[in-house]
Structure 1
């Protein structure tokens, strides 16, 4: 691989060597062997983001091994056994962003790690957390937690929300989105948009969701709902958008009424105003910024607006629009 060498002042062939280095992790010196890229001519060390990331992961793993800490994979398994990242964070009294960092490789604090260990090893701890924090959960989340506690809920496998969650799980597992799909947040977000945008139709809703998730990703590094979007004739739309609409209607999040429009035949009517307590202040700021910016846009106008986004222009029909294009979003 060729890279620019600031000593040679030109591109040179490089090679990967290794050396012993010491890093500070939580105030403790951890020694590991790092892979480094060097210039083959002058032996100058060159920056390599991929190698640096792997070296940091290696250091963190050495620290975990020394102190018998849970790995990111084990933390993810604990979370998956209970529910969404936001659900488990609510039970534990954490922010969702904290859980995202731990699953992404950050070292948990001592108190947080103790909670995770109890959640993994003590079946009664989930019951305790539920009793202490159930007021922070939606009704659907409460049913899922109770089913997990007693294993006696026969309707759990038939729940439309569970079915939708399973359809979106592979996108998170494959790293296409860096946050797990959260139906409760999606439901509340749809209701908020339906309240703030009169005569909301599906085409416009799909664009509002796209802009909300991508603007939050642009500002804070992760989307709000965990949805994944694809290139469609009318602009970006969520993957499984027809299934999403069916689930939203079937579990009573929205109702529809006839509408004589150019693209859509139904107006989306919220059954509630949308639970704002599910969102952080930063998420609410993004949500209402999007609602305000596009409140007077018709479905046609917002579709045309979305066609000018770089992520849409550089993808083909039905191709996933990666979140890396959020940095090029026309909104800031």
Structure 2
């Protein structure tokens, strides 16, 4: 391992070591988690040896498993927030009305509560929300300079976002490029599944738009209005599309949704969503044919698709196939 050494109890000397991937369990906050970890193996006698950096890496994987299961913002995103908005760790804590060292502790690895995590996640995902906090609570800051520097960075960030094609429009463009016969109904469901499974694999949502629990399943209202004239007909396809606008991770999830969901009609996909918790929970006791503009919260979507990923032991986006096969069998029985 790049010439790194550790002490072997069997050999009684410092030795080089190799790594072996293992399935292991760890306890955190009273719960046990199974995760894919690593162990160090002595290159001379083959015994397991202790390597501090490997233990640290396993601990981080354990914490990541806890964060994902409990909807806690990732450590990497916490570290990005001060850079994104050009604000110090202590000033950010003060801005939020927290203890002066609270955010610093999170940057050192402490786990935020779910309540604090939700605030940090929204700040990370929504610059407009952060700007409103900055304006409302600037009196908490100890210097006007900190406020001005952070405001300039945030306004610039919002300007860049405004000038860019929105992420959901890019996704739609790619779907219309790849799918020859996608109807407005099928498009809505594809967007919903892309959003849900992207969160399950990447711990963030691909786009900011909210969907609503309509009679025929989850619907993005603005997208519905845009393509409503097609009614039940396929939307006109795109002849060209620059796939470089997506990262490898984004494209992997979108391609898997195209392969495993877009092969079904919009009505079949509607049946899928009608048996899933986000739509059912948001609709509540509404009669089946009653119109509603209730938003399906991103939190509910995230929780559901993380649970699906865990239940079906999905390691890669291609593993989504098992879920769609089960859902299709259920839909034709109903």
Return the TM-score normalized by structure 1. Answer: 0.39
